[in-house]
Amino acid sequence: MNQQNNNNHLDAIQTDVKRPCIIAIMHKLVPFSMIWVSLILMYGVVCMHTNTLGQDEFYRFIFFLRSPVIVVLNCIALLVSVFHTINWFRLIYKMIPSAMFNKKSNRLLLTVGLWTVMLAVSIFLFLLVLK
């Protein structure tokens, strides 16, 4: 009987709701996806450097990126990064200690502003790469 009362007490004070399994998995994948992207970028930089020395390493890197397994891993890393960005922008106002973000409209304004900056930088980098 005491164990049951203890469980009821714990249920009453537990504030966080159990997340769906896929969301919990996505939270755990964030560091791995960032490490994966960093390794791919380092490999690309090394291949570009050796390509300037007269070797065809960069073409090996391009063929490496075209592998179906690598494409799937890169797509997973992109999805996890977008998920991480959504969560970060959704929770950023809680990290800033200010009375200004007590109103719902100010929180929305901060979130929309962050998304606007992120989209503007992304479009600029995309256009820069296309040139």
For 5-64, the pLDDT digits (tens) are 444 444 444 445 566 787 777 778 888 888 999 999 898 888 888 877 767 888 888 889
Tally of structural domains, the chain: 1
- Among 42-46, 74-78, 91-95, 120-124, the least confident range: 91-95
Assess if residue 116 is contained within a domain: no
Distance CA 70, CA 65 (A): 6
Which of 103, 100, 111, 30 is CA-nearest to residue 119?
111
Assess if residue 58 is contained within a domain: yes
pTM for this structure? Answer: 0.65
| Own/partner pairs, 88-96, CB within 8 angstroms, 24+ separation | 89/114, 89/115, 89/118
Assess if residue 7 is contained within a domain: yes
Assess if residue 118 is contained within a domain: no
One-letter amino acid at 8 equals N
Assess if residue 102 is contained within a domain: no
pLDDT at residue 14 in the model: 44
Assess if residue 84 is contained within a domain: yes
Assess if residue 115 is contained within a domain: no
pLDDT at residue 82 in the model: 86
Domain extent, residue 71, equals 2-95
Q: Where is pLDDT greater, at 122 or 51?
A: 122
